[in-house]
Amino acid sequence: MRVSELMRPETNGWNDELVRATFLAFEANSILNIRMGENNPRDVWCWDLTRDGNYSVKSAYGALSKGSGCQEEQSDYSREEWLWKRLWKVPVLPRIKVFFWQLCNDAIATRNNIARRIPGTMDGCPICGYDVESGIHIVRECSWVRSVWSGLGVDVLSGVGFDRIRDWIEALMRDKGMAEWVELMTGCWAIWEMRNKVVFDGVRWSVEDVFAPG
């Protein structure tokens, strides 16, 4: 994803809606606080966290993680690199790639993650109500979600012994081809979209609606 995709060319400003939809609230705020220059044709956009000056989501994520106190384990770097390179090549929308990367890093706005930042808020799964809503619960553990994967013919139970979401995805996907990656990433995205409809629009969870367009 390039920074220009997050901007409105007509106003030379951020596309607030897209930035907020793509990043977590604290990440979006950091990005939206970056001032735009005047509309000057000599301006060149340059991202100083990558060698070639082109914006990459990973460099932004790394910078934001440092600023927000999230700890990345250095020993995981080469594995992280493998996962990142792999998923970035999958032919899905950039927004889905960013979401999936955040999911792999347990950095999506699940109730569990929100409750860690705001003590006292509900952390239970809004779909089944039986467990804490973590990233891995949403896409693997939740009983209602299992039927989504069986409908897609994706075996999410391989590597089920891994509790950390990135470990599980690596175990599950290491030898898989592009079609399986597309299924996994779009499946996770569709489940999250449906979950958001349940939480924010009060609709009832339905497997059919997970696959419904729009």
Of 64 and 135, CB closest to Zn ion: 135
Interface residue with Zn ion, options 6, 103, 107, 127 (CB under 5 A)? 127
CB 127 → Zn ion: shortest distance, Å? 5
Q: Give whichever of 94 and 126 is closer to Zn ion, judged by the CB atom.
A: 126
CA angle 50, 56, 59 (to 5 degrees): 60
In 89-206, which ranges are continuous DSSP H helix? 94-104, 111-117, 135-136, 143-152, 165-173, 178-201
Encoding tokens for residue 53? Answer: 């000056």
Q: Check binding of 128 to Zn ion (CB under 5 A).
A: yes
Nearer to Zn ion (CB atom), residue 125 or residue 191 = 125
The binder of Zn ion chosen from 28, 142, 184, 185 (CB under 5 A): 142
Distance CA 182, CA 188 (A): 10
Smallest gap from Cβ 130 to Zn ion, in A, equals: 6
Q: Are 123 and 115 in contact (CB under 8 A)?
A: yes
Q: Which stretch binds Zn ion (CB under 5 A): 9-17, 111-119, 135-143, 188-196?
A: 135-143
Q: Determine, following the binding rule CB under 5 A, whether residue 191 of this chain makes contact with Zn ion.
A: no
173 touching Zn ion, by CB under 5 A: no
Choices 105-113, 142-150, 163-171, 179-187 (CB under 5 A): range interacting with Zn ion: 142-150
**Residue 28 near residue 1 (C-beta atoms within 8 A):** no
| Under rule CB under 5 A, residue 125 binds Zn ion | yes
Please say whether the beta carbons of 98 and 23 come within 8 A: yes
Closest approach, Cβ 142 to Zn ion, in A, equals 3
Give how many residues touch Zn ion by CB under 5 A: 4
Q: Is 148 in the site for Zn ion (CB under 5 A)?
A: no
What residue ranges in the chain does DSSP mark as E strands? 7-8, 13-14
Beta bridge partners of 14: 7
Rounded to whole angstroms, how far apart are CA atoms 190 and 206?
Answer: 11
Interface residues with Zn ion (CB under 5 A) are 125, 127-128, 142
